[in-house]
Every structure is written in structure tokens, then in C-alpha cells.
Amino acid sequence: MTTTAIPTPKATPPDIVRCAYMELVVTDLQASRDFYVDVLDLVVTEEDENAVYLRSFEEFIHHNLVLRKGPVAAVAAFAYRVRTPEDLDRAVEFYTELGCRVERNASGFTKGIGDSVRVEDPLGFPYEFFYDVQHVERLAWRYDLYTTGALVRLDHFNQVTPDVPRAVKYMEDLGFRVTEDIQDEEGTTYAAWMRRKPTVHDTAMTGGDGPRMHHVAFATHEKHNIIAICDKLGALRRSDAIERGPGRHGVSNAFYLYLRDPDGHRVEIYTQDYYTGDPDNPVVTWDVHDNQRRDWWGNPVVPSWYTDASPVLDLDGNLQPLTARTDDSEMEVTIGADGFSYTRKSEDTEEKGFKLGAQV
């Protein structure tokens, strides 16, 4: 794929601490509330007839997820907390130099959040940066409220974009670091995991038609919490919400489960990745034909996981148009015509093999 490189601004980027919340537009607010509150047990901080503000058990800021009623299911904001109020000025300078649309609201764009900057970034995503927040009760010690599948933290976002190296370079300019990626022998990059906090990622860039949101991920304490969520979904006769998993990733080493909410937004439940905070933390590169990269046990990836994603909005609330990926598709290069998944080359031969039973 040949695209125009995003220039490196001379302006200092904002000092991003972590991914902090996502604003989702949903078409049926009650159905979405039932899913995130009654099924996934997120905590309601505040709600009205147009929006529900939710947080995880260990969170002390007002929310990690906003469900806002709207006509089309989409993502309105990927929001990051910055280290100081002055970092909002840096965000304005950084994105203004890039020629991006920038808006600042001293009162915040959502309840519970103060002075904030929203931008349409060079990849077409709606990013928000904020520092000032309303503190709420942190429920980490309220074991009387914990459920067997309690979600304790917002862990990361995952974004779909056509040119992954272009996206990685821009995110590195913004201060992110690559922890893992997937490539092939020809040098095509299919996905990259990037972080600010010292875990595997705060966001990932996945190759595909974009800009779109692949998933938002919440963490549990242990993998048995994820199994409990699967059992609960089965008991509620809602197993159709399970898209993929449970399983163990190769990339990130985390235990995972992928769900689809009533609008089709993808939610990952995630736990047990690893520390990445040292300055010389090595980048892990996976071969796209290694069948353990996406699932450590070698289980196939369902096609919808590769093809489906949520649209994103511009700052006026309109759907962003998509740019097609022209580089190779991970699904197309790893799934044979007969539906079997490629495995990595064996140590003894250059021939690619297949995992029996790994049809999709």
C-alpha cells in the first residue's frame, strides 16, 4: 500500500497516561444497558434518557464507557487521560500542526469529564484527551458487590486501519511504543500492539478497511472470571453473544473472550498479559502463518472477527468514510480455500502444514 506519510510534528505531543473511556452510540439504549449492566456487571455511575455512564470495579474516574442513544451504531470517541492540564495545550498544538480538525470544550464533552480536546486524527479516528475528572467511589474493596465475572479495568482499544505501518509511525510520534506485531516474510505488517501504560497495549492497529473500531476490552482479575461470564451467558440463553473464545492468545499471552453487544459492537474480556515498562522491552514479532499467534492452542479465528467492525464518527456525528486496505488480508493469507487454517512452517521442512479439524 502506497499512502502519504503522516509528518512528524515539531510540537511536543501530549503525555498520555492510559486509555480511559470509549463513547459508543447505540440504537436501543435499554437493550445495551441490559447487556453491559445486567450481563457484564459494569457499574452505573449516572444515567438519563439519552445516555448511560458505566465504570469497572477498580475505576475511580466517572466512567470507562458511555452508551449514548443515536440513530446509527458507531464510536464517537476513543478517550485518553493525559498527565497534566498543560498536556491539553500540547494536544491542540500537535494536531493543529498536523492539519487535523480540533475542538476544545472547557466543560467537557461528557458528564464527569472536565476540560477536554477532541480531534479527528490523521487516520480518521475521533480521539479525546482529558485530565480533569470527577472522582467516584472506587469499588475495589467492595467484595460484597463483586460477581463471579467482575470487570475490573478498561484495558485497551483495537482500531482497524488500512495501512498499519503508517498508523504505527503516527502513534510513535504521539508517544506510543510497539510491543508486538504480526508480519510475513515479505515485510507486510498485518497488526501492531502499542502501549502507553506498562502492559501489552492501550490500543492496537489491525489491518483492514478503516477507520473502524474492532473492539474495546475490559480486564478481569483471573481467567476463571471469563469462564464464569460464558456460563452466565449460557444460563441466560444468550450464548449467541459469544463470537470467539474463550482461549489464550499467542500475541499478548492473555486469556480472552470476544462478545458482540446488541448493536454488534465487539467487546473483549481480557486478563493475564505481561509487564512491558522497561525502556528496552523487546518487540515480539509473529509470523502471520504461525497458527498460534491469534490463539495459543491453534484454534481457528472465525471469519466475522476479521471482517466485522464498528464505524466511527467525525466530530459532527457523521459516519467517517472508509479507505480500503490494499495490502494482503490476514484472513486471506492464513485460511486455505478448503477452509483449513495454515500452521507455521515446521522446524524440519519449509512446507506449510494444516491443523486437522481447524476449519472455519
Quote the cell numbers at residue 47. 444515567
DSSP 49-102: SSEEEEE-TT--BS-SEEEEE-SS-EEEEEEEEESSTHHHHHHHHHHHHTT-EE
Q: Pinpoint the alpha helices (H) of 101-222.
A: 164-173
pLDDT at 359: 47
Backbone angles phi, psi at 184, to 5 degrees: -125, 180
DSSP 39: I
Q: What is the pLDDT of residues 250-277, one digit of tens each?
A: 999 999 999 999 999 999 999 999 999 9
CB 242 within 8 A of CB 259: yes
What does the alpha-carbon distance between residue 289 and residue 295 come to, in Å, rounded to a whole number? 12
What does the alpha-carbon distance between residue 251 and residue 80 come to, in Å, rounded to a whole number? 23
Q: CA torsion 233→234→239→243, rounded to 10°?
A: 70
What does the alpha-carbon distance between residue 287 and residue 51 come to, in Å, rounded to a whole number? 43
DSSP 293: T
**Which of 148, 136, 96, 138 has the alpha carbon at shortest distance from 120?**
96
Residue with cell 498460534: 292
DSSP 3: -
pLDDT in tens, the chain (360 residues): 557 899 999 999 999 999 999 999 999 999 999 999 999 999 999 999 999 999 999 999 999 999 999 999 999 999 999 999 999 999 999 999 999 999 999 999 999 999 999 999 999 999 999 999 999 999 999 999 999 999 999 999 999 999 999 999 999 999 999 999 999 999 999 999 999 999 999 999 999 999 999 999 999 999 999 999 999 999 999 999 999 999 999 999 999 999 999 999 999 999 999 999 999 999 999 999 888 999 999 888 888 999 999 999 999 999 999 999 999 999 988 875 555 555 566 555 555 555 554 444
Task: Considering only CA atoms, give the Rg of the chain.
Answer: 20
CB 66 within 8 A of CB 110: yes
What does the alpha-carbon distance between residue 356 and residue 359 come to, in Å, rounded to a whole number? 8
CB 85 within 8 A of CB 100: no
Angle made by CA atoms 212, 126, 253, in degrees to the nearest 5: 55
CB 253 within 8 A of CB 274: yes
* Sign of the CA dihedral running 215, 219, 222, 227: negative
Q: Pinpoint the alpha helices (H) of the chain.
A: 29-33, 86-97, 164-173, 223-235, 303-307, 330-334
What does the alpha-carbon distance between residue 293 and residue 272 come to, in Å, rounded to a whole number? 16
Q: How far is CA 259 from the centre of its chain?
A: 13
- 253 CB contacts (<8 Å, ≥6 apart)? 200, 272, 273, 274, 296
Q: CA torsion 334→339→343→349, rounded to 10°?
A: -100
DSSP 312: B
